Amino acid sequence: MEFNNYLQFFGASAVSKLTDLIQNQEQDILVKFKQQIKQVEINKVEKVRIDLSEGGSLIQFMEKLIPTLNRTSGTLAQYRTTFKNLKSFQKECYKRPVHFESIDMDFYNAYVSYCQMEKEYSVNTIGKEVKHIKFFMAEAEERELHSNFKFKSKRFKKTSEESFSVYLSEDQIKTLNKLHLENTPQDEVIRDLFVASCWLGLRVGNLLEISKSHIHGNLISIRGEKTSEYIDIPLHPIVKKTIVKYGGILPNSISEWQINRRIKDIVKMAGFTDDIAYSITKGGRKVSMNEPFYSLVTTHTARRSFATNMYKRGINIQTIMAITGHNSERTFMSYVKSKRINAIKEMEDIFK
């Protein structure tokens, strides 16, 4: 198992090193394998360090580092957005290069203000921007590109507020599953995949990776997209039927972008059109929103629906977390809005 982890993570470099050791009949292969792989990583970091040691610009560092990172496509897209925002901030507001040594509370306040007023970002989106800047500053620090630790200050913090999001109840999922879409084959595939995701709880990246080799009887077994740990998920009857429908596999010849582009209209066709009122801090002020339910649905809604519905069923939290990949119980409880669910259930029990 340990060999497999190294081979999967380091790819061709690991395969080559391991093959050489086996052919030379080396003793203590695993120990020597680890040592050689560590050197591969050191060389890789040193190469990046040489490329990035010229000048002290955080933006230059990000531009060169992002393509080398082993992250999900979604995370890389977020990093690129922060990179573009910093370039715009530097040009339009800061009027000078964003050097490593200039990352202090004055920079923090100016950048947060830029995100609020110019970009009109929500509190949580600004929090992600700050989180990304702290990540890249830490990466640069490890490569000894600066000695500025002001980004570690408690005041240089990721802002956040409770986000608003919707989920589909089990009854809504069943209604969506019964929607007749035979005349629009692509919509039918998107609906089937979305409904299956409501019973699997996987991130969309994992969902679209599922092949026949991941399906073992009544289980799907796949390595988590972010945790890299194997996840075993029992198949709900609806998922089993979907797998049979598509010849022993879930449909995966479609992209996340295509799903997000159509899922709102599909959910609308299922009749989920009630207006939802909520508020969000945007552009530095509280904004009241009123939108139809279907307009708030994305690919991620399926995963949230799974987690929330399983929690409402009373399934052990650790069991659900093992499938969703949440590492922190506190994060999971916030994710499923446990306080609201528990308050509603308690009041409903009183009114019975």
Give all domains of the chain, ordered by start, each with its CATH number: 2-52 (no CATH), 58-152 (1.10.150), 170-351 (1.10.443.10)
pLDDT of residue 204: 85
CB 290 within 8 A of CB 276: yes
pLDDT at 52: 52
Residue 20 has pLDDT above 70, yes or no: no
Q: What is the rounded average pLDDT of the residues 17-33?
A: 51
Work out the mean pLDDT of the chain and round it to a whole number.
83
Residue 100 has pLDDT above 60, yes or no: yes
DSSP run (H or E) holding 279 = strand 275-282
pLDDT band for position 9 (cuts 50, 70, 90) = very low
- Specify the residue for token string 């929090």: 127
Task: Kindly indicate the confidence band of residue 56, based on its pLDDT and cuts at 50, 70 and 90.
Answer: low
Q: At what angle do helices 29-52 and 2-10 cross, to 10 degrees?
A: 20
> How many C-beta atoms surround the C-beta of residue 142 within 10 A?
10
Looking at per-residue pLDDT, the higher value among 38 and 177 belongs to 177
Range picked from 5-9, 250-254, 296-300, 319-323 for highest mean pLDDT: 296-300
Q: Which residue has the tokens 């680890």?
A: 34
Average pLDDT over residues 120-146: 92
Angle at 346 between CA 340 and CA 352, to 5 degrees: 135
CA distance 161 to 339: 15
* Dihedral angle computed from the Cα positions of residues 214, 220, 224 and 225, in that order, rounded to the nearest 10 degrees: 60
Q: What is the mean pLDDT of residues 214-218?
A: 91
Q: Tell me: the pLDDT tens digits for 328-337?
A: 888 888 888 8
Strand order in the sheet with 230-234: 215-216, 219-223, 230-234
Residue of 207, 180, 169 whose CA lies nearest to 300: 207
Q: With bands split at pLDDT 50, 70 and 90, how would you rate the model's confidence at 235?
A: very high
Give the tens place of pLDDT for each residue, 30-50.
555 555 555 555 445 444 553
Average pLDDT over residues 96-104: 92
